[in-house]
Amino acid sequence: MHQSISAASVLQAGYARQALRPRLLHLGCGAFHRAHQAVYADELARHHGSDWGYCEVSLSDSSGTIHALKQQDLLFSVSDMDAQGWHCRVVGIVCQALSQNEDELPAVLEALAHPDLAIVTLTITEKGYCHLPATGQLQLDHPVILHDAAHPLQPRSAAAVLLAGLRLRRQRGLPAFAVLSCDNMPANGVITRQVLMQLAVLQNDVGMAEWVAQHVACPSSMVDCIVPMVSEVTRTRIRALLGGVDDRVGVACEPFRQWVIEDHFPQGRPAWERVGVQLVADVSPFEEMKLRMLNGSHSFLAYLGYLAGYTHISDCMQDAALAQLVHHLMVHEQAVTLADTPQPAEEYAASLLQRFRNPALPHQTWQIAMDGSQKLPQRLLAPIRVHLARGSRFDCLALGLAAWMCYVSGIDEQGRVIDVRDPLAAEIRMLLHSRGPAMSSVQALLQLEQVFGADLPRHAHFIAVLSRYVCQLQKYGAKACAARVCAQLGYAGELAGAGDGAG
């Protein structure tokens, strides 16, 4: 049996943890948060004497993270991975860890009502907001929202838990905490505010909705750091870096981190700017550039790469056609739709391609492919709408969307079952299986109005382009189809030759 992380005296955080106060609370203690927001807080405590500690909260703790943290003296490790090697740190910024299942709701609400608490950060994934991705509004018929509307004292959703905590603060005369979304959604602060206020109204508490509008700051933020799922191989490597210590909640990630935050925190905030965080008046240009050029490209590679048989993003980048197409997508189809670019598009694209090629980063295409129905509206469909309005081409955007449609069919090119993880998976299966002989899979899936809205399913040119690429993927397969599209877009030489041979 390996020793506990708290038992190794050499593995300490490097600062006086007893001085930390629970001024930050994080909802959704996943791998990304531990590799990103927690590291920034750790840097502030380690190098600048900050007392901004984190209370970690999970609504279910289905992964056992909170339970493991408690057994490890609230310590965990973060390892940066690149071609030059791995570098490990022990993070000690957590001063409390709670699970709604294990510790029960009253303990979670007391943490939210703690007088020291000033900011709640969120990484609950897009689906955790129980909203409609196409509109940003609360999904009124969502089963969890229906429960929370009828039972505000037994909240299940993140929004309902936050509302319950805010009610307690209001009753006790405490100021509201700020709610800082760190999920990959456009205007994530606006969506957070909308969801909180709409749910309060659903709970017949208009006074609470007004109080939220007046007192609860919901700044937007943009986060960036590639954090793959932790495999057994990764766990073994982390154990070796820790000298034999078994860290059950250790994470490994790329060295790159970025955090851009709208600077609006009425009850104060950490001095994030001291550790490289960008505090700005408007996050949207950074957010939109990252969502389209990075996240959109990730989704493009995830669906095409998975269908082509590639396990990791770095494997996709070894395919000359996919590498060429993803660069084309970034520069010629995504960047040109941006109203503002905080850095030159070619420069940003080059940095993204370099990160995607990182051979030490086992970022699975299957992991990125999860929850596509929640991600497509902002990553691929929003820029497609721009192209449709301009009358410009969007071949790679359509190809990525077509690959998603093939992926969610549930069968890969070798006839094997795909483990499709998506909150709309059941509805997708029903649409595909119940369609008549005269209806294509494209027409069937375009019935998902919560994804495609009401406009795209009625746009003849959009449907024609999308249908063409679905047919090409089905006829040629993902690898040959990518080579053909390269040739069609004018990328000559061996790629054009590969495209000609594939026909």
Q: What is the pTM of this model?
A: 0.91
Q: How far apart are CA 97 and CA 34, in angstroms?
A: 13
Question: Residues 412-455: pLDDT tens digits?
Answer: 999 999 999 999 999 999 999 999 888 899 999 999 999 999 99
DSSP assignment of 129-157, as one string?
A: G-B-TTT-SB-TT-HHHHHHHH-TTS--S
3-48: per-residue pLDDT in tens? 444 434 345 678 999 999 999 999 999 999 999 999 999 999 999 9
- Residue 498 pLDDT greater than 50, yes or no: no
Domain count, the chain: 2
Average pLDDT, the chain: 93
Phi, psi of 222 (to 5 degrees): -120, 130
Whether residue 374 sits in one domain with residue 259: no
Q: What domain range is 22 assigned to?
A: 5-280
- Give strand ranges (E) for 173-241: 178-181, 221-224
Closest CA to 164 of 138, 188, 128, 199: 199
Percent of the chain residues topping a pLDDT of 90: 89
257 and 293, same domain (yes or no)? no
Whether 61 and 134 share a structural domain: yes
- Counted residue by residue, the chain has a size of 503
Which pLDDT score, from 0 to 100, does residue 85 have? Answer: 87
Q: What pLDDT sits at residue 8?
A: 42
Q: Do residues 342 and 330 share a domain?
A: yes
Pair 198, 157 in one domain: yes
Q: What pLDDT is attached to residue 409? A: 96
Phi first, then psi: what are they for 486, rounded to 5°? -60, -45
What is the reported pLDDT for 455? 96
Do residues 276 and 343 both lie within one domain? no
Query: Same domain for 341 and 435?
Result: yes
pLDDT of residue 438: 81
**For residue 492, is pLDDT > 70?**
no
- The pLDDT assigned to 499 comes to 37
**CA dist 109 → 59, 165, 214 (Å):** 12, 5, 21
- Note the pLDDT of residue 493: 55
Q: What percentage of residues in the chain have a pLDDT greater than 70?
A: 95
31 and 140 part of one domain: yes
Q: Which of 280, 307, 325 is the last residue of a domain?
A: 280
- pLDDT surpassing 90 at residue 187: yes
Domain boundary among 245, 280, 315: 280
Are 447 and 329 found together in one domain?
yes
231 and 300 co-located in one domain: no
- The verdict on 312 and 225 lying in the same domain is no
pLDDT given for residue 51 in this prediction: 97
Between 8 and 196, the higher pLDDT residue: 196
Give the residue, 104 or 191, on which the prediction is more confident: 191
Domain of residue 303, CATH code: 1.10.1040.10
Same domain? 92 vs 232: yes
157 pLDDT exceeds 70?
Answer: yes
Position 154 pLDDT exceeds 90: yes
Residue 256 CB partners (closer than 8 Å, separation 6+): 224, 225, 226, 355
End-of-domain residue from the set 280, 312, 338: 280
Tell me what pLDDT residue 100 has. 86
Give the Cα separation of 119 and 254 in Å (integer).
Answer: 26
CATH number of the domain residue 248 falls in: 3.40.50.720
- Higher pLDDT pick, 500 / 317: 317
* pLDDT greater than 50 at residue 497: no
* pLDDT tens-digit series, residues 322-365: 999 999 999 999 999 999 999 999 999 999 999 999 989 999 99
275-303 pLDDT per residue, tens: 999 999 999 999 999 999 999 999 999 99
Structure confidence at residue 371 (pLDDT): 97
